[in-house]
Amino acid sequence: MTHMTAAKAIVEVLLREGVEKAFCVPGESYLSVLNVLYETPRIELISGRHEGGVSFMAEGYAKASGKVGVCFATRGPGATNLSIGLHTAHQDSTPMVAFIGQVESSFRGREGFQEIDLADYFRHLVKWTVELNDARRVPELVHRAFHMARSGRPGPVLISLPQDVLDETAEMVFQESEMLSHPRPDRQAVAKAKEILRHAKRPVIIAGGGVTSTKSAKELVELAEKLQVPVATAFRRFDAFPNQHPYYIGQLGVGAAPYLVECIREADVVLALGTRFSQITTQNYTLLTSGTKLIHVDISPDELNKVYRPALGIVADTKNFMLDLLAELGESGQSKERKAYIQEQRKKYEQYSEVRVTSGQHYVNLEGIMGDLMNHLPSDTIFTSDAGNFYGWMAKHYRFQEEGTFVGPTSGAMGYALPAAIGAKVAQPEKTVVAYAGDGGFMMTVQELETAVRCKIPVLAIVANNNMYGTIRMHQEKHFPKRVIATELSNPNFAQIMTNMGGHGELVEKNEDFVPALQRALASSKPALIEVRIDPQQVSAARTIEELRAAQPAKQM
């Protein structure tokens, strides 16, 4: 037993849990923890400019590192600002632990300064919330928080820290333990899955977050080849399977390719690996038909039967399921029919995703930019992405070659790309990290450029600027043509902002200038930004504003 303050015990648990990086906006409600971290060099504390940005940094760090993301914020306004990253982590199944300062215990229930009932407020945004009301329970509760964040379907956990409790001293009992949470599938279930898949005529694998979080793309490649089954990736899980592989047939996201949706709807068997069948992946819950046998594998029993009733539901770690199925398969023969089926779907993917337009006339063409990025960046470059229509060009044309190279929010959170890139670069400092964003989302966390400069974190931001909230404008024009309101923007010179912050800024207005700007930005070894001016009329990768207006008559008001 060791006598110490609750604040010191919290940091001791962080060390025992292997925490090396944490992100914060400092606040007076948890000054005692900051004071202990001051004398704890083994944990690097990175302070950001807004709690929303800080929570995205921790979430991006967790995705890129495979570790638990840790963040701190103060009570009330700080906590509510932080909530966007916790919601993102919840929908993305990202392990995070958030420590939030709280008003003094004796002031609770009086609407004290910045008081919020944090446990109740965040209950539906996180896996578990708890308030620390007894200093002696720090080892128990904080270790439990990390276990909850990692185990089952991973996710965020929140601990509320009353300011006075942090300074209380107590005898702390720390016990070393190791938690293994990688359940193996039932052997009978594996044998049944093998038989269903072997007798299938038109099977498809859908790879989700259970593949990316376990870093098991290698096992998935082996399984797909042995079974002779094509692979599609779930929403924002591009890197679950190498896109250059002849068995890869596309991604199920916003505006998924019609050929891919048709392929899955016509499949007689779908093997879903670690995907929760989100609204986007399922195309508004219309993806699977009654004639499809579903084998659904997920580490959380709550995900089975939640959207589709599986013919075979298997609760297991995705990687362990694939390893056990591979062992069960042994040597498999090859089918000419399956080979032709896969080649047909692959050809459709290649035709759909091919970069054909490499430059624009008066603006930068994002299709050409995707080709430039594939040709001039290392294959292990990590991309973080905001939400918005600019992302449609990446979803359609960019081919991710290696796992662990895409970090994006399935929640569709705007403002994500830049702070998540900072977190990813902290996790993988040896890799090139690119934040890809539109002007609307980028301005929501633009202040974190200063964080990158101050902390010497050389990320590269690519900002597609069309001076509008493009996605909302697209829907506006589709449903209420020519009735434009609230979606037009005016922007500063983003490249100049980056320069003023102390980084490297570039403005690109035609495609042929992009590669030289990219090379200069990477060579600068500084946080860098390339602003690309894109055509405001080309509101999505598929349609112009005029085409949208022509496709649907205006609604009568």
pLDDT for 519: 98
Q: What is the CA radius of gyration of the chain?
A: 24
Task: Give the per-residue pLDDT at 196.
Answer: 96
Q: At a CB cut-off of 8 Å and minimum separation 6, what does 409 contact? A: 59, 88, 91, 92, 236, 385, 387, 416, 420
Q: Which of 474, 391, 392 is nearest to 437 (CA)?
A: 391
Residue 342 burial (10 A CB sphere; 0-12, 13-18, 19+):
buried
Burial of 469 (0-12, 13-18, 19+ CB in 10 A): buried
Q: Write phi, then psi, for 533 (nearest 5 degrees).
A: -85, 120
Residue 129 identity (one-letter amino acid): T
Structural tokens at position 71: 């963040």
Amino acid at 272: A
Q: What is the 3-state secondary structure (H, E, C) of 277-302?
A: CCCCCCCCCCCCCCCCEEEEEECCHH
Cα–Cα distance measured from residue 93 to residue 82, given in angstroms and rounded to the nearest whole number: 17
DSSP-assigned beta bridge partners for residue 554 = none
Phi, psi dihedral angles at 322 (to 5 degrees): -65, -40
Q: Which residues pair with 505 in a beta bridge?
A: 529
CA proximity to 402, closest of 221, 222, 204, 226: 221
Is residue 103 within 8 A of residue 115, CB to CB? The reply is: yes
pTM: 0.95
Q: Which residues contact 405 (CB under 8 A, 6 or more apart)?
A: 239, 379, 380, 381, 382, 383
Report how far apart, in Å, the C-alpha atoms of 501 and of each of 116, 236, 284, 441, 466 are. 35, 31, 42, 19, 23
Q: How many angstroms separate the CA atoms of 352 and 395, rounded?
A: 11
Residues 318-334: pLDDT tens digits?
Answer: 999 999 999 999 777 78
Kindly provide the b/e burial profile for residues 537-555, where b requires at least 16 CB atoms within 10 angstroms of the residue's own CB: ebbbbebebeebeeeeeee
pLDDT at 2: 87
Rounded-to-integer distance, Cα 423 and Cα 459, Å: 10
Low-confidence residues of the chain: pLDDT under 50: 556-557
Query: Residues 115, 116, 119, 125: is their CA dihedral positive or negative?
Result: negative
pLDDT tens-digit readout, 35-83? 999 999 999 999 999 999 999 999 999 999 999 999 999 988 999 999 9
Q: 3-state class of 139 per DSSP?
A: helix
pLDDT number for residue 557? 46
**Length in residues, the chain:** 557
